[in-house]
Amino acid sequence: MMFDMNQPITFSLEEASLSKAVEWQQLIQQLMRETDTFLIASMRDEKVDVESTDYPAITLLLIAEQGGASSPVGIGSIEHEEIGIAVLKQYQGAGLGQELMNSLLEWAQINNLPSVWLDVQTDNVPAVHIYQKYGFRNVGSQQRYILPNGRVTQVQKMILEL
């Protein structure tokens, strides 16, 4: 959905549900066209056996609204203590990712998670800076990935004790 960027847009967060499944899938597809972050996660997950935990999981959708129209423009999740956040490029730089992060960290604390972690591409300097501001610290060594498009990237795991 296209919004008139010259008019006010309001944003809200809501827990992902089946009622928004089609919009949620369209958002994921568009995010996959805009970034290779999802490729890195899938490459990593092929090599790592994700431990089963008793910790709860959540997925939040960032909803943009204008007039009577609404559409998800970002997503944030915690699963197996891993945080993932993605916002469409058109909406980046307005603090929306930080709103997602704040909500996810609040949820993690309410649900008594001992820590959360994420992977970040080391060349994504703004993201690294934001995560460091939240108190995430590097753990382990950087991992090198050669993506299907030929791009080489380095990924660093970061953890935040809650």
**Average pLDDT, integer, range 31-41:** 77
36 φ, ψ to 5°? -100, 10
DSSP E strands, the chain: 10-15, 58-66, 69-79, 82-87, 115-121, 137-146, 152-161
Q: pLDDT, tens digit, for every residue of 89-125?
A: 999 888 999 999 999 999 999 999 999 999 999 998 9
Q: pLDDT, tens digit, for every residue of 12-30?
A: 999 988 888 898 889 989 9
Q: pLDDT, tens digit, for every residue of 63-83?
A: 999 988 899 999 999 999 999
Q: Return the CATH fold of 10-161.
A: Aminopeptidase (3.40.630)
**Owner of token pair 């999802």:** 38
Whether 53 has a pLDDT exceeding 80, the answer reads no
CA distance 105 to 118: 12
CA distance 1 to 104: 25
